[in-house]
Chain A
Amino acid sequence: MMSGLFLLFAVTMVLALYGKRQASIGLFFLTLILCVLLFWHHVTEPLNLNF
């Protein structure tokens, strides 16, 4: 799953290099949204604290 996010980023950069500015920015924001969703999964995970 995480490797998929890096793959999306790599594709985003290749698109940018080959002159597809709009597509690369669109894909960047899609990747960012997926990153935020994955981050949200980690943020809402309960902390394992013992006092």
Chain B
Amino acid sequence: MSPSLAIRINAAGLLIISGVLLGAYYVQFFMGEFPCPLCLLQRLGMLGVAFGALLNLRYGLRPAHYGVSLISAVFGACVYVRQILLYIVPGTGASGYGSSVFGLHLYTWAFIVFSVAILLIAIMMLFDKQFEDKAQTDTSHCQTKLIHSLSILLVLIAAANVLTTYLECGPGQCPANPVSYIELGK
């Protein structure tokens, strides 16, 4: 795999993760769902996966950058396991947190994203050539602008999460089943 192809795949990954995080905002504001603490931890895991891709785009392709994404994806998947265990026992009255999107709960979609990310990152790391040929990682002006725009978008998503999470949870611990924005109700 050539370094330029690997750069494009990383940019696509960054775009997809940004889309997923924006989709979570759609569900939060247009479907009236409040993200639970575990849901917010999964968002942090997604940001971590995207951060690894951002490092690859900004500083060139390195195994350490893929490692950052991989660790974040494993963390996000662990959070999913805890969340599914909350609702795994039949007959306990709990059918999952929030409404479903395309037949699956959002945290199940998050697990699919984390699993695919782990698989793709492992596949990407099989191709050594991308790490050897530093000269080919030079990107065009158009690509550089695109990468910069994607990076700014990711920073804005993280900053927006700071605000909305503060409004929902305040300075303390988030409630297990949030039903309103605590800070707006004061």
Contact = CB atoms under 8 A, between A and B. Distances in A.
B92 A16 contact: no
Interface in B139-172: 151-152, 154-155, 158-159, 161-163, 165-166, 169, 171-172
Interface string B41-59: 1011101100100110011
Interface size range of chain A in the complex: 20 to 34
B20 interface: no
B109 interface: no
A16 B54 contact: yes
A42 to B, nearest CB: 6
Nearest to A7: B162
Contacts of B44: 5-6, 9, 31, 35
B131 interface: no
Contacts of A39: 41, 75, 78-79, 82
A1 B41 contact: no
A9 B82 contact: no
A25 B149 CA distance: 21
What 7 A-B pairs have minimum CB-CB distances, sorted nearest first? A3-B166, A10-B158, A3-B165, A6-B161, A6-B162, A7-B162, A13-B155
Interface of B: 37-38, 40-41, 43-45, 47-48, 51, 54-55, 58-59, 64, 68, 71-72, 75, 78-79, 82, 85-86, 89, 92, 151-152, 154-155, 158-159, 161-163, 165-166, 169, 171-174
Given A13-B51, A42-B82, 12 more contacts: A2-B37, A6-B47, A6-B159, A10-B162, A13-B47, A16-B55, A17-B58, A17-B151, A32-B48, A35-B41, A39-B41, A47-B85
